[in-house]
Amino acid sequence: MTDTATRATRVVATPGGRSRHNGGGPRAGTIAAFLIPFFLPFVLFYLVPIAYAIWQSFLVVRRTGGQYGTSYTTFGGFEQYVQVFQNTEFWNSIGRIGLFGIVQVPVMLFIALIIALLLDTPLLKLKAFFRIAAFMPYAVPGVIAAIMWSFLYSPQLSPLVDLLKAIGLQPDFLGPGAVLWSAANVSTWLWTGYNMLIMFSALQAIPQELYEAAKLDGASNWAIAWRIKVPIIAPSIILTTVFSIIGTLQLYAEPAVLRQISSNISSTFTPNMLAYAVASGNNYQQAAAISVVIAVITFVLSFGFMRLTSKRAGL
Amino acid sequence: MSNTVTRIRIAGVVIAAAASTAGLAACSSPAPSSGSAAAAPAAACEPAKGNVTLQYWNTVPGMDQVVALWNQKNPNIQVEMKNISTDQYGTIGNALKAGKAPELAQVGYDQLPSLRTQDAFVDASACADAVAAKSKFVPWTWSQSSFGDTGVFAFPQDTGPMALFVRSDIFKKHNLEIPKTWDEYAADAQKLHDADPNLSITFFDPNNAEFFNGLLWQNNAKMYGYSGDKWHVTVESDQSKQVAEYWQKLIDAKLVRTDLAHGSTPMYAAYQKNQIASYVGAAWGYSMFRDNLPDQSGKWSIVPMPTWGSSAASGDWGGSTVAFMKGNTHLYESVKFNSWLNTDPEALALENKLGGLYPAATAGLELPALSEGVPYYGNEKIFDVFAESSKNIDTSFAWGPTQKTVNLALQDALAKAAAGDGKLADALSAAQASALKSMQDLAIPAVAGN
């Protein structure tokens, strides 16, 4: 079965590869004309800031005497990094989003997968409508979504809270124990549709003959979904997981907005918020070091996950 | 293989080169560029030959209209303003780092020392008008913006003398006296809560260090001093602990709410639903209730803030200056505009009306608009209360050079305490530790204690 699945992916993959044929000599001018619009912004707005951040992270502030003195920066080696590793707030924030990610990412991707599979069944009517409906939250900017949800969480303003109170519950969405999951809920609401669409596109690419063959063999819709569709779109699921791991480590907007109405989100709630707080305290060099460490952790986790799963899945 | 070796070597050379240039930069930079400590040369205050356009960044609502008035009267000195209220100090800090600071920017008193340690200002004392302006401002505001010295780095703009905003109808309904001391305030809090469990005397926003600092200021809690080439950090003191323990008791007894963020929609909703009977606030807050709760007009009253003992003492919450920023090459014109903006009766009246600013200029305190009754507050002369409060502010209070970091640490710890994880007094030790650590990080010599 897995064999079929793998082969099917390969079949799907080929048409994309074929268009590479470009004839013989490369026309440097043409290639440059096509590449420069990409590479120039890539270098300016991606590589240069990264290099600048790395450079900043190796500097330390020194000062000439006096009450206010004059500060200057000088090379400090790994001094800023030592501080990052000694910073308990940093590790707390990493632990917090680790917990967030372990729960939120599987829940979100599972829901996305279910919706994608439902949209892919021939049984469902009004497909276009449901597809748009599921994708719609992604069109809402993250900050706006967080503001909207913060209204739904606020005991003062929320019809949701009133409703739950009417049936005898005492929800405290912004309490110390719940606020992390309230933020997770906003992320899930925002990103499920996006992940669903990636999985759904992969499902659309599966040739119908496979299903016909499976049906002839007596497979139920259930079996087709779990034994054929899910294994075939495994690369998409892995891709969305990697995106989600990266997204989790970059978490900022949702908790930062909820912080406006809940005192249970500290200024160091997520690593990105910590970096921002440090930068706003004029310690740009320390903030740069924190950012670099976050980037390295993100890189290690996402690529580590990709290598691990692709080996397992034999892709 | 050899390819890799070469690459490593190149990388090594690059790093070494980078390190050495950094070293060079380090050696060369401190000496010349620092204009902040020494007075600027007299030539720095020459009027410009032609027309000048000044950049002015601020966060005050309605300031565009004030600037428009200036521009209309002064065709030779045009001012372009930008509202930076979304991330005031982030915007200023980034501009400084990029060497693109505006000529003038609004800076809160509490952030002046921290920007000064970043060499953010120019000294305008080369301009005679700038030095002479001293006599026009409430003394403590001038002292804070000149760092108690002869330099002129900013003109005071507004202050936030504190007072108690009272829902007199609720107090009357429950037969309560207006509290004069914090003890009476706590007693009233208990009575209100006993009478109606859904009613609280006020809320304590653990995410608002500025408010808490104002309370500390009232109790003569001096948090920073400078002597013997070192900053002395006393954020954790007997005076500050007294304030922390007082509010801790109110929180423990559930007499004050801790679930409302200052200025948030839920906060206004709670006031709207008559769940809260008073507000410990500052002068600029007068327009907040007026603009956000128009249907409570006539129900509010403003009285002096409760005191710790029998003698009058007040705190300040907020307030700003307009600073002369680094790179300003039009000091003459900047001083002219800055004085007009902050001492001219017409400008001050407009800023008070549109932006709710309570002037730092002594002339401002005598503005006709500030001696009249305010309709929203039952035509009470509320600015008399603030003027009195302003006189009772401890003028020797000083802010630290890493106030923003300390405020964040204080807020995080206050919030933990409010959620039942620790005490407010612990927040003071957290803030004390954060002050020492953040100063160390920025190479500012500091020790704990006096």
Q: What is the pLDDT of residues B201-244, one digit of tens each?
A: 999 999 999 999 999 999 999 999 999 999 999 999 999 999 99
Cβ pair B414, B427 in contact under 8 A = yes
Which pTM does this prediction carry?
0.85
Cβ pair B409, A87 in contact under 8 A = no
Asked if A71 lies within 8 A of B118 by C-beta distance, the reply is: yes
* CA proximity to B336, closest of B320, B324, B326: B324
DSSP summary character for residue A62: E
List, in order, residues 6 or more apart from A102 with CB less than 8 Å away.
none
Summarised one tens digit per residue, pLDDT across range B115-163 is 999 899 999 999 999 999 999 999 889 999 999 888 999 999 999 999 9
DSSP summary character for residue A270: S
Which chain B residues are closer than 8 Å to A60 by Cβ? 443
Q: Looking at the predicted structure, is the pLDDT value of residue A10 above 70?
A: no
* Full 3-state SS string of chain B: CHHHHHHHHHHHHHHHHHHHHHHHHHHHCHHHHCCCCCCCCHHHHCCCCCCEEEEEEECCCCHHHHHHHHHHHCCCEEEEEEECCCCHHHHHHHHHHCCCCCCEEEEEHHHHHHHHHCCCECCCCCCHHHHHHHHHECHHHHHHHCCCCCCCCEEEEEEEEEEEEEEHHHHHHCCCCCCCEHHHHHHHHHHHHHHCCCCECEECCCCCHHHHHHHHHHCCCCCEEEECCEEEECCCCHHHHHHHHHHHHHHHCCCEECCCCCCCHHHHHHHHCCCECEEEEEHHHHHHHHHHCHHHCCCEEEEECCECCCCCCECEEEEEEEEEECCCCCHHHHHHHHHHHHHCHHHHHHHHHHHCCCECEHHHHHCHHHHCCEHHHCCECHHHHHHHHHHCECCCCCCCCCHHHHHHHHHHHHHHHHCCCCCHHHHHHHHHHHHHHHHHHCCCCEEECC
Cβ pair B223, B419 in contact under 8 A = no
* pLDDT given for residue B376 in this prediction: 96
Which chain A residues are closer than 8 Å to B107 by Cβ? none
What the block records as the tokens of B420 is: 């039942």
From the list B29, B226, B412, the residue facing A266 with the nearest CB is B412
Residue in chain A nearest B27 by alpha carbon: A74
CA–CA separation, B416 and A4 (whole Å): 56
Judged by a CB distance cut-off of 8 A, whether residue A92 touches chain B is no
Summarised one tens digit per residue, pLDDT across range B257-299 is 999 999 999 999 999 999 999 999 999 999 899 999 999 999 9
* pLDDT given for residue A32 in this prediction: 86
CA–CA separation, B55 and A232 (whole Å): 60
Which chain B residues are closer than 8 Å to A68 by Cβ? 36-37, 113, 116-117, 147, 401
Provide the pLDDT confidence category of residue B31 given band limits of 50, 70 and 90.
very low
Strand partners, B105: B57, B323
Asked if A70 lies within 8 A of B30 by C-beta distance, the reply is: yes
Which chain B residues are closer than 8 Å to A64 by Cβ? 30, 34
Q: Which of B264, B274, B414, B447 to mutate to test the interface with A (most CBs of A within 10 A)?
A: B264
From the list B226, B260, B444, the residue facing A63 with the nearest CB is B444
CA torsion angle A41 A44 A46 A48 (round to 10): 170
DSSP summary character for residue A24: S
* CA proximity to A77, closest of A58, A53, A49, A94: A58
* pLDDT given for residue A12 in this prediction: 40
Which chain A residues are closer than 8 Å to B258 by Cβ? 263
Provide the pLDDT confidence category of residue A269 given band limits of 50, 70 and 90.
very high
ipTM reported for the complex, 2 dp: 0.81
Judged by a CB distance cut-off of 8 A, whether residue A165 touches chain B is no
Question: Which residue do the tokens 């309709």 mark?
Answer: B375
Read off the pLDDT of each residue in A237-266 and give the average, rounded to a whole number.
Answer: 92
Cβ pair B220, B394 in contact under 8 A = yes
Judged by a CB distance cut-off of 8 A, whether residue A210 touches chain B is no
Which chain B residues are closer than 8 Å to A170 by Cβ? none
From the list B29, B36, B266, the residue facing A261 with the nearest CB is B266
* CA proximity to B80, closest of B48, B111, B46, B104: B104
Asked if B231 lies within 8 A of A266 by C-beta distance, the reply is: no
Strand partners, B48: none
* pLDDT given for residue A234 in this prediction: 92
Pairing of strands B230-233, B446-448: parallel
Asked if A263 lies within 8 A of B419 by C-beta distance, the reply is: yes
Cβ pair A227, A219 in contact under 8 A = yes
From the list B89, B119, B418, the residue facing A70 with the nearest CB is B119
Cβ pair A100, A254 in contact under 8 A = no
Read off the pLDDT of each residue in A223-235 and give the average, rounded to a whole number.
Answer: 92
Cβ pair A130, B238 in contact under 8 A = no
Between B179 and A222, where is the model more confident? B179
Q: Looking at the predicted structure, is the pLDDT value of residue A17 above 90?
A: no
Summarised one tens digit per residue, pLDDT across range B89-120 is 999 999 998 999 999 999 999 999 999 998 99
